[in-house]
Amino acid sequence: MSRTLFGRPLRSVAFDVGVCGLVALFAVSGAEAQPGGWPAVLVGLAMTLALLFRRVHPALVAAVVAALALTQVVAGWGVLAYDIAVLIALYSVVKYADRLRDGVLAGVVAAIGVLLAATQSESNLVWWATAIYFGLVTGGVWLAALNVRTRRLYVLSLEERAGTLEREREAEARAAVAGERARIARELHDVVAHSMAVMIVQADGARLLFDRDPETARHAVKVVADTGRQALEEMRRLVDVLREPGTPEATTGPDDTTPTTDPERRRATVGEVPALVGRFRDAGLRVRLRAEGVPAALPPGLDLTVYRVVQEALTNALKHAGVGADVTVVLGVDDDLVVRVTDDGRGRPPVRPAPSGGHGLVGMRERVGVYDGRLSAGPRTGGGWEVEVRLPLPSTPDPEVIAV
């Protein structure tokens, strides 16, 4: 972290103090020999003091230095060593002034000062030759300051543009996360509603069979308890993910078992992955699916997460690898439930819009994080891209239910 002094970077303050010290040395060193003597030294020291503020108030400093230089001309002292302060003030106003108009005005004043100084010069050259020499030096300083000003403003514009883009990316990421969380909330609501419907059906069955078939009723009560635990776990994950309040939606009661046809609300499952792969084959990908030991029944929320991860990974493959790319989808189990989607990156741009799939890696990371899983995505050594998701396998309740 850079250190500051009086609200300015310490390095800039030290440089300005060094420059002012040099000007003061020029003013004091000629006190006895230079025209004007000690009054001229005081003018030089006043210029030195003004230069301390050249970065903060460049136009005012240039005006003060010009007035002091005019005093020197009126007194007839000619050009002195500390007049380098005039060039420093000119450079500062061109570089640091808010408006270039101040720098142009300072250049005009400096040109007039060049003519006046040339008439008082003790050089053996004619006055106009001296004026040309002073003009070349002053003009060179002005052009150098203009070049530095242009580069400075260009760098500032790049920094401002980079900051704006960074803020836009953060806003887009927040919007994507918020949208994905809203979708997860709707989907998990369906999961919990399904669990409640199962519990109600099993509880009603247990109540009717309690006297006639106690063993079956006891089994039904166990299913209710297991399903309730799973629903409670889903609700816990829902609260963890959705930290911001959302707008409640009108939904059916938990005992309504009519399936919804809204594609945003329908709960997809791992069993629908082959159909999903078929749609991506129709879109132009050469997809191979391998399922190795995936449990037939997964918790509803985890089931949905696996489906969405495959959907997002295939969508990204279609968008970035292109039509005709070779894609492999592997569903397997070792210690965790593993979802791996790889492509060779050798396709061509798609001729049809890719199936909708959320917000890419942002959405997948949100979904996987709900179940304490791990997501890795990146380029493959031989070309293409790989997405791998590992999800812990929870215990599942007994899927058997009682028909009433």
Concatenate the DSSP letters of all residues of 13-33 into one string. HHHHHHHHHHHHHHHHHTTTT
Report pLDDT digits (tens) over 306-362.
Answer: 888 888 888 888 778 877 889 999 998 888 899 999 999 887 655 444 444 445 677
According to the model, what pLDDT value does residue 193 have?
64
User: Coil, helix or strand for 389?
Assistant: strand
- Does residue 198 or residue 136 have the better pLDDT? 136
pLDDT at 395: 62
- Cα 73 from Cα 37, distance rounded (Å): 14
DSSP state of 328: E
The token duo for 74 is: 């009126």
Instruction: Give the Cα separation of 89 and 71 in Å (integer).
Output: 16
User: Which amino acid is present at 48?
Assistant: T
The answer to whether residue 389 scores a pLDDT higher than 90 is yes
Q: Which residue has 């399904």 as its token pair?
A: 194
pLDDT confidence bin for 117, thresholds 50/70/90: confident
How confident is the model at residue 186, as a pLDDT? 67
CA torsion angle for 98, 100, 102, 103 (degrees, to 10)?
120
- Per-residue burial over 236-252, b if 16 or more Cβ lie within 10 Å, else e, is ebbeebeeeeeeeeeee
Name the token pair of 188: 């998990």
> By the 8 A CB rule, do 188 and 233 touch?
no
Q: Token pair of 190, please?
A: 């369906």
Q: Which residues touch 20 (CB under 8 Å, ≥6 apart)?
A: 48, 49, 51, 52
Longest Cα separation, the chain:
130
Distance between the two ends of the chain, CA-based, in angstroms? 72
Q: Which residues contact 287 (CB under 8 A, 6 or more apart)?
A: 277, 280, 281, 314, 327, 328, 329
Looking at residue 351, its pLDDT comes to 45
Q: List pLDDT tens digits, range 48-67.
A: 999 888 888 899 999 999 99
The per-residue pLDDT for 375 is: 92
Domain boundaries in the chain? 4-122, 270-391
Give the contacts of 180 (CB within 8 A, at least 6 positions apart).
358, 359, 362, 363, 366, 367
**CA–CA gap between residue 367 and residue 396 (Å, rounded):** 19
Homologous superfamily (CATH) of 270-391 is Histidine kinase-like ATPase, C-terminal domain (3.30.565.10)
Phi, psi of 299 (to 5 degrees): -55, 140
From the list 404, 48, 49, the residue with the least C-alpha distance to 202 is 404
Sequence-distant (≥ 6) Cβ neighbours of residue 299 within 8 angstroms: 230, 233, 234, 394, 396
Mean pLDDT on 271-275: 87
Which phi and psi (to 5°) does residue 200 adopt?
-65, -45
Residues 394-402 have a mean pLDDT of: 46
